[in-house]
A = this chain, B = another copy of it.
């Protein structure tokens, strides 16, 4: 399981004075970038000119996130056929309350932008992953 921590920024609030729904996707995306970096996968994929493209996202919004809230995103990864699936949970770290949950389906594309096999390097992710 991977963990990513950060705080809500002022310009991420919308006119309802809470974090806009699209910004949650930014947060979840950044948690995935951090995983790719930590594990060295980012460099491996760049070297092979492979990149992960998002094909589907299912996101549930449970509670609003507000200015300066401390956020924790926990991510686990599963392989399923040609897909790399990220299951991500966002909580308010001070209260422990769950804010959101997302399932993000991605597919690796090669340099011709054609779907390719999930590179074996992804096994790193899986073996490092436990349940929430």
A interface list, Cβ under 8 A from B: 9-11, 13-17, 20-23, 25-26, 29-30, 33, 37, 51, 53-61, 67-68
Contacts and interface: CB of A to CB of B under 8 A. Distances in A.
Given A59-B56, A60-B56, A26 B9 contact: yes
A15 B17 CA distance: 5
Contacts of A59: 56-59
B15 A20 contact: no
Contacts of A15: 10, 13-15, 17, 67
22 contacts: A9-B26, A9-B33, A10-B14, A10-B29, A10-B33, A11-B14, A11-B20, A11-B30, A13-B15, A14-B14, A14-B15, A16-B51, A21-B54, A22-B22, A22-B26, A25-B25, A33-B67, A55-B60, A55-B61, A56-B59, A57-B59, A59-B59
Nearest to A58: B58
Nearest to A6: B6
Contacts of A23: 22
A11 B37 contact: no
A38 to B, nearest CB: 11
